[in-house]
């Protein structure tokens, strides 16, 4: 039988701690990279007197403040993964001290110290403020300290039978508990991976990585997830493909473009990103304000960075300075804020853009907002496409045709090809408005396809439309 090399208790403890750290670090960094960024996005820490006062008057939240201080470093995911892996290791080391002080043959019983780690790791993923994990660390070290004091005179007072306290059991049990910890964190709860997926979408949209978003969200995924569908539609808008592919992604109405009547942070964050894409800074600010009141400390790094950048872009010096000043009190964000000081100084005497353009408005109704923006920027295809596609998503032909007539005079008056979705809608309109066929050049391919659609409808084979023409307004409409 192969012999297990004899090592000291301290070396065995160090090797176990190292194996635990590496395993958990790899899970956090590889599986939950974007969760770490999300955690930093939604926390806030400042060295200002306001934050210190909060700790003084609400001592029960001290651990939340400590957690916020740690999570500001998650701006760098490699550091975040390190902190997340170190916290369970600290629980293990405290438990290992207890084992060493209480049991004979402690080197062969160190695996017992892995047991509390499994439970700590199991609840760590959803501990978005770190207070529960930090509590576990403090409790474990408190217990270790008490045991240490009580065993100053009499150590190793307990003894396990030899079939338990032997090297082979120690190796097998350590490996099993290590695997259990990894399983608890990365694979047991499928909702962890779903949350990680949404965190990735948020971060990619924030960084305008539209191609990556569309790779992550094929049509089938968008059809099943109303959250993923909105990110996919935003990516299609930015890539100029909304009027070619929207119906592949399971759109159900105009409300699929933004989150309406949802007060979750993700929803407000998405809405702010949508209106950022629409170049509507006032609505970006409004959605950001709604998002920040849902944060633990009344604001978050994600919101403050967005407000700072938005006010820099619209040349609003007082507010841009305010948010950069707030961020400069963060250990990590101080350098981020300082990098933007030259841009701030460049707008010190500038007149804010919204005063020059007179476009500081917002609307809770997407269609109203898009009508206003399409009217204000008549040659901008993005606003026209969102407006027309939203009307198609609502199956609102009565509103589509008048809107298209106005837009066509601006964007399709010189022989530009009309997108297939719009042609398909116009063919339906032509049944009651015959002049459509003379006013607009609709491709022969669309006219022939429409005749085939009518034959299917007249023969009672409407159910075949989604299979024959899945990416069409007709399949959606009928």
| pLDDT tens, position by position, 374-411 | 998 999 999 999 999 999 999 998 899 999 999 999 99
- CA–CA distance, 273 with 276 (Å, rounded to integer): 5
- CA–CA distance, 287 with 265 (Å, rounded to integer): 10
* CATH domain 212-357 topology: 1.25.40
CA distances (Å), origin 96, targets 117, 144, 290, 388: 11, 9, 46, 65
The predicted pLDDT at position 296 comes to: 79
CA distances (Å), origin 291, targets 50, 127, 247, 328, 391: 20, 20, 30, 21, 28
The predicted pLDDT at position 4 comes to: 55
Give the pLDDT confidence of 103-123 residue by residue, as tens digits: 887 888 899 999 999 999 999
The answer to whether the CB of 276 falls within 8 A of the CB of 309 is no
The predicted pLDDT at position 462 comes to: 87
The predicted pLDDT at position 68 comes to: 92
CA 38 distance to own-chain centroid: 6
Instruction: Please state the domain extents for the chain.
Output: 9-188, 212-357, 389-477
Give the pLDDT confidence of 284-304 residue by residue, as tens digits: 999 999 998 888 778 899 999
Backbone angles phi, psi at 103, to 5 degrees: -115, 145
The predicted pLDDT at position 362 comes to: 54
Q: Which long-range CB contacts under 8 A does 400-405 form with residues at least 24 apart?
A: 400/425, 400/429, 401/425, 401/426, 401/429, 401/433, 401/436, 403/371
Give the pLDDT confidence of 56-115 residue by residue, as tens digits: 555 567 888 899 999 999 999 999 999 999 999 999 999 999 998 888 878 888 999 999
Can you give the pLDDT of all 478 residues of the chain as single tens digits?
445 567 788 898 999 999 999 999 999 999 999 999 999 999 999 887 666 665 555 556 788 889 999 999 999 999 999 999 999 999 999 999 999 888 887 888 899 999 999 999 999 999 999 999 999 999 999 999 999 998 887 766 766 666 566 778 888 988 999 999 999 999 999 999 999 999 999 999 999 999 999 999 999 999 999 999 999 999 999 999 999 999 999 999 999 999 988 889 999 999 999 999 999 998 999 999 999 888 877 889 999 999 999 999 999 999 999 999 999 999 999 999 999 999 999 999 888 876 555 555 556 688 988 998 999 899 999 999 999 999 999 999 889 999 999 999 999 988 889 999 999 999 999 988 889 999 999 999 999 999 999 999 988 888 898 888 999 999 999 8
């Amino acid at each position: 039988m192969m012999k297990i090399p004899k090592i000291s208790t301290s070396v065995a403890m160090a090797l176990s701690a190292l194996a635990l750290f590496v395993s958990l670090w790899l899970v956090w960094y590889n599986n939950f990279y974007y969760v770490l960024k999300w955690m930093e996005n939604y926390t806030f820490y400042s060295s200002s007197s306001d934050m210190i006062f909060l700790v003084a008057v609400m001592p029960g939240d001290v651990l939340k403040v400590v957690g916020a201080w740690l999570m500001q470093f998650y701006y760098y995911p490699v550091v975040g993964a390190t902190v997340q892996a170190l916290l369970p290791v600290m629980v293990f080391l405290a438990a290992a001290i207890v084992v060493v002080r209480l049991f004979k043959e402690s080197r062969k019983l160190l695996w017992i110290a892995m047991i509390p780690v499994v439970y700590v790791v199991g609840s760590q993923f959803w501990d978005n403020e770190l207070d529960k994990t930090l509590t576990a660390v403090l409790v474990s070290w408190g217990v270790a300290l008490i045991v240490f004091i009580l065993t100053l005179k009499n150590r190793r007072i307990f003894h396990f039978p030899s079939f338990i306290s032997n090297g082979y059991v120690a190796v097998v049990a350590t490996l099993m508990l290590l695997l259990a910890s990894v399983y608890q964190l990365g694979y047991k709860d499928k909702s962890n991976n779903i949350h990680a997926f949404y965190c990735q979408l948020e971060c990619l949209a924030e960084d305008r990585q539209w191609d990556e978003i569309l790779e992550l969200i094929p049509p089938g995924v968008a059809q099943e997830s109303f959250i993923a569908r909105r990110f996919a539609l935003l990516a299609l808008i930015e890539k100029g493909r909304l009027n070619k592919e929207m119906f592949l992604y399971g759109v159900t109405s105009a409300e699929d473009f933004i989150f309406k009547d949802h007060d979750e942070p993700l929803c407000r964050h998405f809405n702010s990103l949508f209106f950022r894409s629409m170049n509507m800074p006032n609505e970006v600010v409004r959605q950001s304000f709604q998002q920040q009141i849902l944060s633990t400390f009344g604001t978050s790094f994600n919101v403050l960075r967005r407000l700072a950048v938005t006010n820099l872009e619209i040349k609003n010096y007082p507010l841009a300075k305010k948010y950069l000043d707030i961020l400069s009190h963060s250990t990590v964000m101080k350098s981020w804020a300082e990098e933007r000081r030259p841009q701030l100084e460049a707008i010190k005497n500038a007149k804010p853009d919204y005063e020059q353009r007179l476009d500081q408005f917002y609307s809770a109704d997407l269609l109203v907002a898009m009508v206003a923006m399409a009217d204000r920027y008549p040659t901008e295809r993005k606003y026209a496409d969102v407006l027309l596609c939203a009307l198609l998503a609502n199956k609102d032909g009565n509103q589509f045709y008048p809107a298209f007539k106005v837009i066509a005079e601006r964007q399709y008056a010189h022989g530009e090809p009309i997108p297939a979705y719009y042609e398909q809608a116009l063919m339906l309109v032509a049944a009651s408005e015959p002049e459509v066929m003379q006013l607009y050049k609709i491709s022969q391919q669309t006219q022939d396809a429409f005749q085939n659609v009518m034959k299917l409808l007249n023969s009672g084979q409407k159910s075949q439309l989604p299979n024959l023409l899945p990416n069409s307004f007709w399949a959606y409409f009928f």
